[in-house]
């Protein structure tokens, strides 16, 4: 799957349904028939929407963990907590299960944010707070994470 691109704002109805924006739906079209997995994020108060091919690739990695190592077993349990299989209906709507709406604190206004191969689903206020969080200086973070990566032979990234 190609990288998913874009950040989109939309609204959820009282039942937790949201209409996927057309550009995002188009990007996810190849996997719509296979379905999706929706789960709690590990690091943030948001949800992660995995196309089934991406979820299967993640599960292949996790399946390599030795379940007789307590840390591994605890990780698997927490990583898969609240996992739900979801579908996008014929009208392009996605239903977020109630327990996941509560976990992410989703109200009405939602942000769908691409995260390489998955889509993060955020309550809009929580998303803005996470992006604007002044505790982490993005320039320093970018340098630390990406500063030593030079894939080109000339040493220029």
Note down pLDDT in tens along the chain; length 157 residues: 679 999 999 999 989 999 999 999 999 988 888 999 999 999 999 999 999 999 999 999 999 999 999 999 999 999 999 999 999 998 999 999 999 999 999 999 999 999 999 999 999 999 999 988 755 677 777 788 888 776 666 555 5
The candidate with the shortest Cα–Cα distance to 84, out of 75, 74, 95, 76, is 95
**Interatomic CA distance for residues 49 and 86, integer angstroms:** 9
pLDDT value of position 150: 66
Within 10 angstroms of residue 117's Cβ, the number of other Cβ atoms is 15
Domains of the chain, earliest start first: 7-124 (3.40.1550.20)
Q: Where are the alpha helices (H) located in the chain, listed in sequence order? A: 22-28, 52-62, 70-79, 98-104, 124-132, 138-146
């Amino acid at each position: 799957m190609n990288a998913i691109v874009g950040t989109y704002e939309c609204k959820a109805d009282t039942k937790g349904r949201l209409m996927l924006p057309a550009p995002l739906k188009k990007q996810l079209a190849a996997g719509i028939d296979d379905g999706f997995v929706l789960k709690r994020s590990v690091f943030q108060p948001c949800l992660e929407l995995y196309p089934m091919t991406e979820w299967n690739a993640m599960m292949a990695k996790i399946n390599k963990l030795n379940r007789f190592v307590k840390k591994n077993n605890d990780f698997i349990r927490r990583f898969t907590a609240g996992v739900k299989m979801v579908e996008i209906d014929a009208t392009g709507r996605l239903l977020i299960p109630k327990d996941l709406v509560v976990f992410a604190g989703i109200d009405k206004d939602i942000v769908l944010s691409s995260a390489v191969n998955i889509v993060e689903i955020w309550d809009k206020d929580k998303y803005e707070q996470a992006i604007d969080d002044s505790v982490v200086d993005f320039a320093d973070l970018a340098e630390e994470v990406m500063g030593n990566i030079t894939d080109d032979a000339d040493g220029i990234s």
